[in-house]
Chain A
Amino acid sequence: MRLGKLLIIFFISQLAVISPLYAGAPVNVTDYPSLNEKQIGHVRHMINLANKLDGDWSMMGNTGGGMNFDAYQFQIAFAAYALAVTQDHFVPAHRDLYQDTSARLIKKMMYKDVWDYWAQMSKGEWRIDENGEDHYYTEDDWFGWIDPNIKQNIMYSGHLLQMLGLHESLFDDDRYDKPGSLTFNFAPVAYGESPLEIVYDHSRLATVIYDQFVEDDFRGIECERNKVYTECNQHPILGLIHYDYKHGTSYAPLVQEEFKKTIINRGYVHPDTHTTMLSLDVHLDEVIHKTYAWSDGWNGLVHHAWDKEYVEALYDEQVKLYMPQMLEGEPGENMGWTASFDFGWLAVLAAEVGDAATVNLMLEYADQYFNPTWLDGGYYYPHTSDYKENFRRDDEGKIGNISPVTGNYLVGFARLMPKDGMWSLYNRTRDNEFFAQPYVDGVDYSQATVSQAYYDSGEDALIVTIVPSESASNAVTFAVNQLEFGTRYQIFRDGESIGIAGSNESATAWNSEQQLIISNELDSPHSYVIVPASSLVKDSR
């Protein structure tokens, strides 16, 4: 045996002497965020839907039949936001599942059923001419304009931009920066027209949207022709914040500053009621005020991410206005007409601003009246068959109509959302140091869920909890990445030391890629704490 090897063996044996194994974990896993059973269910339901084949929209309702908030683009986008918040808060050291799902959701946004329908809808414009007649489409609407991002469709493009920004900033993944990475394919069948490719990438989308803000003098980009909604314009702002952060540009600050002035000066938020306008009629240049909980919930949720104090100052008045008539009885005049949407978006805003009492009340209500259902490890509230008649309440005055976006995503989002969940995504962005930290991957989604994964840099400890699914086999393995190879790590399972990483007794092994492979039994949830053995020695002195 070579002398070097002998020296290493001697050195390691001495280390074993000076760093005895410690029986109790140095940190308590309950001190770190962890998904509970229902939260795991919501996450799995959202991922299950994202995992469906392209073109399979089962459980997501029908996007057709005119303007509605259950359109696939909104469901897909809110799945992305809910999963982003979840990943950021509960499992920042577990990225592969969420990164793959995010890419799947972006791919779904590029699916023609999603973008083309709304490109068409956004060209719709109800106008009444001087003779009092309705006008909707023009020939130009149908044949002269296919690109879903270029104008007057921020209710699609804004979501796409936000999703791209989240993907890049959460996972340090720049795949959408590549030219042509976002190519929309349109294949008209009529009259032998050639297929059309509309070629985008992250940068082009950001630029196109920024230019529209400037062109519209920051009054907000039309979500559909002739209509500016405040909430639609919040999403591209968040998209630009992340874009700037990863690309070194500075699009967002000007848009934030100027759009905020518009909100105040044009009364997009009514100074007396503190509620968000329904919309701005561009042709009439008229702000249309309504008091809709969905509108305040939706706008507040996204606006809060970049203007926390302002939104929190409005929230108390808004929640007083909408609760408790939200939950039972005849809705008052100052109440939205879309009970299920109102419920969903207000619940998410309440969670974002940390109004735990309202959130808990609403979650209990949903669990009692919305037919909660478990399916393939997922927890959700199935949409009712006549969900498009959204106003209906039952004989007791309870909300009886659940829409897909509420049942699939919004209630789950409210349950997953920690206080300031959205705000954190845009104010505690991830840097290179974060991406160099230890993390886990390779946990088989079909058999288990990672309910917590957190690297505590102060303690130099990686905390991971694996919860078996219903369809679990006996065991799964997972990999721990970016540990310092050659360092002795002590592993604690469920609070007890199981030995040094790589040793037989710890059921772990280093592989050739310097990953630590851990074999985890799926008999019940198990928590792991992985720390350098040397740090325990230091602490014990």
Chain B
Amino acid sequence: MRIENKLMLVLFFLLAACGSGQPDAAQVHAYLIAHPEFVLDNPDVGEAVKSAAEQRRRQAEETGRRKLLEVNSPLIRSVLTPTFGNPDATVSIIQFSDYQCVPCKKTYVELDSVKNSRNDIEVLYLELPVYGSVSDLAARAAIAANINDVFPEYHHLLMLNDAGLDVARIREAAIAAGMTDWQVENSFNDPEIKNYLAQIRVFAEELDVNGTPTFLIGNQLVRGAVTAPQFNVFIDRNLSAKTR
């Protein structure tokens, strides 16, 4: 029996025993105020209250996230944001990542296999450079790659790059992906791209993202590396929640 149900049952019998029949909320409240020791004497009741509080906290977080997603929709759906898949998909995966982040690279392969195996998801890649200056420049070039329709190629090359990253390697990857030298150089100093990335950073902090990779799968925040089976569980959970 769930602990919350147990709490209600206990209270019900307790109050019924007092001859008051089906207790209403006011009666429960009055009883507990008059007999607070009841909670102290029944640790499982305290646990139930904690659990209810935790559930309420989670709900508040989810509501907050939903609002943030709504407010930031123009940013998330900006033409600068690289996307994959069906924009009408039931489940959206927002990925915050950095090209120097090892778990991001590990997750890249996992997410890739998920992308290839199902058509009911959409992935939005939000660049969140947290590893310093080189990551900043790599993120700027990524947005330029998206503008120039070569983001998947560029992303693939940098995510599979297991050597250190520097400006020369960023250039090399961008050019191999199909960008010109001028486009790469321009991306490093493009004020529109810099401003867009700054806004992504603010959005991430509002979401309480404190590292990479972080995923927002539907409305669920998932921190750290994720395997393909885990992705599928999160996606299916979101799908079933939406179906319900």
Contact = CB atoms under 8 A, between A and B. Distances in A.
A475 B182 CA distance: 12
Interface string A453-494: 000000000000000011111111100000000000000000
A175 interface: no
Nearest to A378: B132
A446 B136 contact: yes
Given A52-B130, A446-B133, A471-B134, A191 B167 contact: no
A160 to B, nearest CB: 20
Interface in B33-91: 46, 49-50, 52-54, 56-57, 60
Nearest to A195: B60
Classify chain B's interface size: 20 to 34
The residue among B50, B130, B167, B204 with the most chain A CB atoms within 10 A of its own CB is B167
B133 A191 contact: no
Contacts of B60: 195
Contact of A447 (B50, B130, B137, B211): B137
Contacts of B132: 48, 375-377, 446, 471
B166 interface: yes
B53 A192 contact: yes
A472 B167 CA distance: 7
A473 B133 contact: no
The residue among B60, B128, B134, B189 with the most chain A CB atoms within 10 A of its own CB is B189
B57 A187 contact: yes
A477 B189 CA distance: 8
A364 interface: no
A298 to B, nearest CB: 30
Contact of A53 (B133, B136, B188, B205): B205
A53 B137 contact: no
B211 A56 contact: yes
Contacts of B131: 376
Q: Please report whether the interface of chain A is mostly helix, strand, loop or mixed according to DSSP.
A: loop
Contacts of A447: 133, 137, 188
B185 interface: yes
Contacts of A472: 167
B134 to A, nearest CB: 5
Contacts of A189: 50, 53-54, 57
Contacts of B166: 470-471
Contacts, number: 73
Contact of B185 (A192, A445, A473): A473
A473 B60 CA distance: 44
Nearest to B39: A191
Interface residues of A, number: 29
A45 to B, nearest CB: 11
Interface in B175-231: 185, 188-189, 194, 204-205, 208-211
A471 B167 contact: yes
Contacts of B54: 189
A54 B208 CA distance: 8
A108 to B, nearest CB: 11
The residue among B49, B54, B130, B132 with the most chain A CB atoms within 10 A of its own CB is B132
A66 interface: no
Contact of A56 (B46, B52, B137, B210): B210
Contacts of A475: 189
B53 to A, nearest CB: 4
Contact of A471 (B133, B189, B194): B133
A3 B52 CA distance: 80
Nearest to B184: A473
Interface string B95-107: 0000000000000
B52 A192 contact: yes
A473 B46 CA distance: 60
Interface in A152-208: 187, 189-193, 195
A420 interface: no
Contacts of A469: 133
B152 to A, nearest CB: 24
A56 B214 CA distance: 13
Contact of B133 (A190, A470, A474, A476): A470
Given A48-B132, A53-B130, A469-B133, A474 B210 contact: no
Interface of B: 46, 49-50, 52-54, 56-57, 60, 128, 130-134, 136-137, 166-167, 185, 188-189, 194, 204-205, 208-211
4 tightest A-B CB contacts, nearest first: A55-B210, A376-B132, A446-B133, A446-B136
23 contacts: A48-B132, A52-B130, A53-B209, A55-B208, A55-B210, A56-B130, A187-B57, A189-B57, A190-B53, A192-B53, A193-B53, A375-B132, A376-B132, A377-B133, A446-B132, A446-B136, A469-B133, A470-B166, A471-B134, A471-B166, A473-B185, A473-B189, A477-B189
